[in-house]
Amino acid sequence: MKYKIVFSDIDGTLLNKERQLSPSTISEIKKLKNKIPFILISARMPAAMRHLQKELAIEELPIISYNGGLILVNDQVVSTTEIPVSIIKNLTDWNASLNCHLSLYHNDEWYVPSMDFWAKREENNTKISPVVKIGDEVITKWSAENKGAHKIMAMGEEDQIDQIVDFLSKEHSNELHLYRSKNTYLEISPKSISKLTAIKFLLNHHFNLDLSDVIAYGDNYNDVEMLNHVGFGVAVGNAREEAKLVANHITALSIEDGVAQSLKQLIPLESW
C-alpha cells in the first residue's frame, strides 16, 4: 500500500554519530516534500527540534514534543498535557536532601538549578541553553501563570535515579510515566500521554488519516507503543530489543542512515 505520512523519533533514530542530520538523510526526506508529511516526534523541547525542521525544509509541518505532551501546528499549541505544580513541589521538596539534578520544562522554557555537569551535557546535546532558576522559583512563577511541566528530567548517579523512581512510583504512580532512557537519565511525564496518543490526535484533527497510513521510526522504550500500533513500524538497528520485537521491519543503524535507507525502500517516489 502507499503510506501517507511518516513520524520519526530523533535521538538514536534520525541522527548520525555527530548527533546531526546526515546529507543522505536530509536528501531523502526532502524528496517527500509536498507528497508525504514527515513529522518529528521526540522527547525534546520544540526549540531543540526547529533547527532540524529547518534543515529538512519541513518548517511548515507540526511538531510533537515531550513524547506527546505538547503538539504544535503552525507554531501554535493545539494540545498540551502538563504535570501539575503540586507534584513538582512534592518532588523538589523530597529531592532537597538527595540533590539530584532536576530540569523543568514547559514549551520552550527550560530551567536548571545550576549549570552543572548535567546541564552542560544536555546543552551540548540539544544546542539549547537553559535558564538557571531554582525549583521553588519556577514553581512560584508557573503557579502565577497557571502552567505545569511538560517534562521533568532527572539526571544523576544511578543510585540517585533509583531513589527517585522508588519515590515517584509510590507517590504518583497513577499520574506520572517514568521513562529511564539511560541509567543516569529519568524522563518524567504525564501518564495520560504518549507518542501514540499524539499521533492519533494529529491524524484525527489535522490530517484526516488512519493509523494504517502511518510509517513510524524509533529506537527506544518510549517508541515501542508507537511502533507496535502504526501501519508500519520501523526500528533502527541500534534500537532496544523491546522496540525491535514489535517493529514490522528493522533497518540499518541510525549512524548508518537507517531511516534514509528505509525510506528509499518503502516510498518509491517514482510512482508519484
As a whole number of Å, the end-to-end CA separation of the chain is 13
Class in CATH terms, 5-80+193-271: alpha beta
Domain locations along the chain: 5-80+193-271, 85-190
- Output the pTM of the full model: 0.93
Give the domain 85-190 fold.
3.30.1240
Q: Give percent of the chain with pLDDT exceeding 70.
A: 98
Residue 169: predicted pLDDT: 96
Question: Would you call 182 exposed, middle or buried from its count of C-beta atoms within 10 A (0-12, 13-18, 19+)?
Answer: exposed
In the block, cell 544536555 appears at 122
Give mean pLDDT, residues 137-152.
Answer: 97
Backbone angles phi, psi at 118, to 5 degrees: -70, -45
Tell me the pLDDT tens digit for each residue of 175-221.
Answer: 999 998 889 999 999 999 999 999 999 999 999 999 999 999 999 99
Residue 182: predicted pLDDT: 85
Residue 272 has pLDDT above 80, yes or no: no
Common-topology check for domains 5-80+193-271 and 85-190: no
How far is CA 39 from its chain centroid?
A: 12
User: Residue 9 catalytic?
Assistant: yes
- Which of the following is catalytic: 9, 213, 219, 257? 9
Please state, in angstroms and rounded to a whole number, the distance separating the CA atoms of residues 61 and 271.
23
Tell me the pLDDT tens digit for each residue of 21-77.
Answer: 999 999 999 999 999 999 999 999 999 999 999 999 999 999 999 999 999 999 999
Residue 174: predicted pLDDT: 95
Please state, in angstroms and rounded to a whole number, the distance separating the CA atoms of residues 200 and 226.
10
